Structure formats: structure tokens, C-alpha cells
Amino acid sequence: MCKETETRKDDTQTTEATVIQPLVHSNFIIVKIKKKRVKCLVDTGSITSIINLKLAKELKLRLEPVPQGESKVLFLASTTAMPIVAVAEVKMKFSELYIYHTVKVVDNISHDLILGTDFMRQNAATIDYRSGLISICDNLAALPLQSNVIDKYIVQNMQEVCIPSYSEIIFASFGSHAIQ
């Protein structure tokens, strides 16, 4: 929640107003890489896409040296240096759309995969916060933006279902009593 207080003094009266706005952190999407569901941070502040070294090894991605002439270090907003271990070509599945993208491999980052503006530009990605969707390749795929909630509260279907944008579907689900 965001709380902002403003106090104004007139000749005879003091007025105090409080504005409370919810902060929504819906900047994640789920993609599949080699049949593994991966939660990706969609980061408009990152100029490059990054994968965690641990995930890259788990997926058995082919790690290549950083090309000659390219920087071997990334810098965080705090100016902290983050060495690039390698680069890797990743085949990601967005709904039914497969996209190949080269990512930088970095050790010990807070997210498994960060999709930066390089990915968004190359794949004509559009983020629509009103509808809560990110569309890729001029609407060939549209995925819901998700928050970084604890996975135990997520209901997941057993097989993929293609639902057109702005449509609804009702299906049976099972879960704990806490979320039903």
C-alpha cells in the first residue's frame, strides 16, 4: 500500500488528506524451457536478458563463451559489477509459440530468468497493464502477467488449453480448503 499525507494550512483550518493505492507487482510470466515451467521477470529496466547459471546447468543448456568484443560484465543500478559467465541460446515456449533467444548467463541472481528490453524489441512485445497481458510477436501469443506470489497458492491445469484473449473459461479444480 502507498500512503501519502498532505497537510495544508489555510488561515483558519488545517486539512489532512491520505491517499492509499495498492501496489501490484504483476511483472512475471510463465514460459516453458525443455518442458520445465520457468517464472520470468519481465524487466523493462534491463537492457539484456539474463538466466541464472544454476538454472542453465539444470536445463543442460549449451554454454558458450562471451563473444569477443562484447562486455563480460553487467552493472546493476547500484553500480555493482555482475560478471557474465557465458551466453546461451534458449528455446522458450510462450503458449504455443516457440522463440529462440540468446541470454547472458550470470551466477547468483535473484530470479531464474529475466527478459530484458532486448527480448521485447526483437519479439515485438507489448505490455498492457490494463488487461494484465503481455503480447508477443504482434499478438501471436498473449500471456497473463502474474505477481511473484508463493506457488502453493497457484491453481494449475493438468494440460494446456488455448483460450483467446479477453475470453473466459470455467473448469473444475481441486486444492486445499484455504483457496477453494
- The answer to the question of residue 15 being in a domain is no
Domain at 43, CATH number? 2.40.70.10
pTM here is 0.71
Identify the domain containing residue 126 by its residue range.
29-153
State the Cα–Cα distance between residues 131 and 133, nearest whole angstrom: 6
Q: Burial, 30: exposed, middle or buried (Cβ in 10 Å; 0-12, 13-18, 19+)?
A: middle
pLDDT at 65 over 60: yes
The winner for highest mean pLDDT among 9-18, 159-168, 169-178 is: 159-168
Looking at residue 2, its pLDDT comes to 36
- The answer to the question of residue 42 being in a domain is yes
Q: In the chain, how many domains are there? A: 1
- The answer to the question of residue 111 being in a domain is yes
